[in-house]
Amino acid sequence: MSRGGSAHAVLLWTAFLAVHVVTAVTGWLYPSQPMGDIVLVYEPWASAAISGGPIVGVTETWVYPQLALLPMLAAKALAAPLVGAMGTSAAYLVAWAILVTVLDALAFAVLVGRSPSRPRRLGAWFWVAALLLLGPIALYRIDAITVPIAVIGGLWLSRRPAVAAALLTIGAWIKIWPGALLAAAIVAATTRMRMLLTAAAVSAAIVGVLLLLGADSEIFGFLTEQTGRGLQIEAVAATPFLWLAVAGAARIEYSFEILTFQIAAPGADAVGAVLTPLMLVLAAVILLVGSIKATRGASLSRLLPPLGLSLVVTLIALNKVGSPQFQTWLIAPVVLWLILDRARATAPAVIVLALCALTCLVYPLNYDALLRAELLPVLVLTLRNALLIVLLAVGIRALVRVPAHRPSTTRE
C-alpha cells in the first residue's frame, strides 16, 4: 500500500467514525424525537417476538418485509448487557447505533479498501457528507440497515454477481427499495440470468422459512398494508395541499393506525390513490428504456447508475409516504455512479447532498413548525420536493442519453 493511499484511507476512516459519532449523539439532542421509532416501535416488536408474544410478519400482518425484524432482534441482543447500567430504552438506542455503525463500517471497508482509487475516495466522501447533512434520521431507522447492504451489493455486481444479487434480495426483504437496484442490475448486466435465479432462490428460501414458522397471508402483508395509507404531509404529491394548509384550506391530521401525519383535504385521497399505479407505470417505462439500451449494447458502467438512481427516485417521488429516511436510499446508487462513471455523477451527487440538508432542516429541526403549517418549513419542504423531481429528471435524462449501438453484423 502506498503512503498516499494509506493517508487517504486513514483520513476517510477518521471522518467516517467522527460523523457516525456526531450523528448518533445529535439524535439525543435534536427536537421531535428523531430516535422515536427505535424505542417506541422497534424495541416493542423485538420484545414481543422473543417473549412469546405476536411476531410481526408471521403471526400478524406487518408494514415491513419480514427480514426487517432480524436487525431489531440483533439490537435487542446487543442491548442486553447494557440494560442494567442505562435502562431498556437507552440501551436499545445505543445498541442500534452500534449495529448500524458496524454494518456501515463493513461496507465502507469494501468501498475504501487499503488504497482507494480517486473514484472510490469520492464515493466515500460523498457517503460521509450525506450522513452528516441528513442527521440522526440516517442512523435511527430500519432504512439505515439496508444502505450498507446495497452499497456492498452494488460494488460486487461485476465481480460477484450472484453474491450481489443475494445481498440486494436480502435488502429488499428488509425494506423494498434495494429491489430497484436489483432490477436495474438484472436489466443492465450480462450476468442477468445468474442474478435472477439467485434472487428467486433467496426469496423462495425466505418464503419457505416463513411458511414453516406459520405465516401464510401475512407473508406479503407489507404490500397490502400500504394500501390503507393516506397522503403523508412530506410526500411530493402533498406539496400543494400543504400550501392549502398554510392558507387554512386543508388540515394536517395524525393517523394512529399508520402512526404518521397525513393531509385531510378534498382531493387528497384521490391523489394518494393514483400515486402507486403511476409509480408502477413510470418504473416499467424506465426499465423498458434500460432494457432497450442493454439490448443495443450499452455498457454496464454507463447504464446501471442512471437506471438504478431513476428507479430509486421514482419510488420516493411518486410515493404517498414521504418519510425523511427515504433520502438514505439515494446514497448507494450515487456512490455507485461516482465509482463507475464519475464524469456524469457530479450533478446527481450535489443534488442528493442538498436533499439531505433540506430534509434535516424539515425533520427533525423544524418539524413542529411544519405540523402547524408555518410558512418557512413548508417553503423548505417545497424546495426539497422540487429537487426530488429535478433529480428524477436528471436521472432519466442521463438514462436516455446512454450511448448504445446494435452489435455490428458481417455481410456475406
In contact, 224 and 195? CB cutoff 8 Å: no
* Residue 3: band (very low, low, confident or very high) from pLDDT cuts 50, 70, 90: low
In contact, 314 and 277? CB cutoff 8 Å: no
pLDDT of res. 407: 53
Taking only Cα atoms into account, the Rg of the chain, rounded to an integer number of angstroms, comes to 21
In contact, 27 and 134? CB cutoff 8 Å: no
pLDDT in tens, 150-163: 999 999 999 999 99
pLDDT in tens, 164-215: 999 999 999 999 999 999 999 999 999 999 999 999 999 999 999 999 999 9
As a whole number of angstroms, the distance between CA 107 and CA 308 comes to 19
pLDDT in tens, 361-373: 999 999 999 999 9
In contact, 312 and 176? CB cutoff 8 Å: no
3-state per-residue secondary structure call for the chain: CCHHHHHHHHHHHHHHHHHHHHHHHHHHHCCCCCCHHHHHHHHHHHHHHHCCCCCECCCECCCCCHHHHHHHHHHHHHHHHHHHHHCHHHHHHHHHHHHHHHHHHHHHHHHHCCCCCHHHHHHHHHHHHHHHHHHHHHCCCCHHHHHHHHHHHHHCCCCCHHHHHHHHHHHHCCCCCHHHHHHHHHHHCCCHHHHHHHHHHHHHHHHHHHHHCCCCCCCCHHHHHHHHCCCECCCHHHHHHHHHHHCCCCEEEEECCCCEEEEECCCHHHHHHHHHHHHHHHHHHHHHHHHHHHHCCCCHHHHHHHHHHHHHHHHHHCCCCCCHHHHHHHHHHHHHHHHHCHHHCHHHHHHHHHHHHHHHHHHHHCHHHHHCCCHHHHHHHHHHHHHHHHHHHHHHHHHHCCCCCCCCCCCC
* Domain locations in the chain as residue ranges: 3-400
Q: CB-hemisphere CA count at 13 Å for 287?
A: 18
pLDDT in tens, 204-250: 999 999 999 999 988 998 887 766 678 999 999 999 999 999 999 99
- Percent of the chain clearing pLDDT 90 (strictly above): 90
Q: Which amino acid is at 138?
A: A
Q: Which amino acid is at 72?
A: M
Q: Is the pLDDT assigned to residue 409 strictly greater than 90?
A: no
Mean pLDDT, rounded, of the chain: 94
Q: Is the pLDDT assigned to residue 410 strictly greater than 50?
A: no
As given in the structure block, the three cell numbers for residue 155 are 460494488
As a whole number of angstroms, the distance between CA 179 and CA 191 comes to 17
* Residue 4: band (very low, low, confident or very high) from pLDDT cuts 50, 70, 90: low
Q: Is the dihedral of CA 94, 97, 103, 107 positive or negative?
A: negative
pLDDT in tens, 32-76: 999 999 999 999 999 999 999 999 999 999 999 999 999 999 999
* Mean pLDDT, residues 331-336 taken together: 98
Length of the chain: 412
pLDDT of res. 412: 32
* Mean pLDDT, residues 16-38 taken together: 96
pLDDT in tens, 277-295: 999 999 999 999 999 999 9
pLDDT of res. 201: 98
pTM of the model: 0.95
Mean pLDDT check: name the lowest of 17-31, 86-100, 113-127.
113-127
As a whole number of angstroms, the distance between CA 137 and CA 346 comes to 24
pLDDT of res. 333: 98
pLDDT in tens, 287-322: 999 999 999 999 999 999 999 999 999 999 999 999
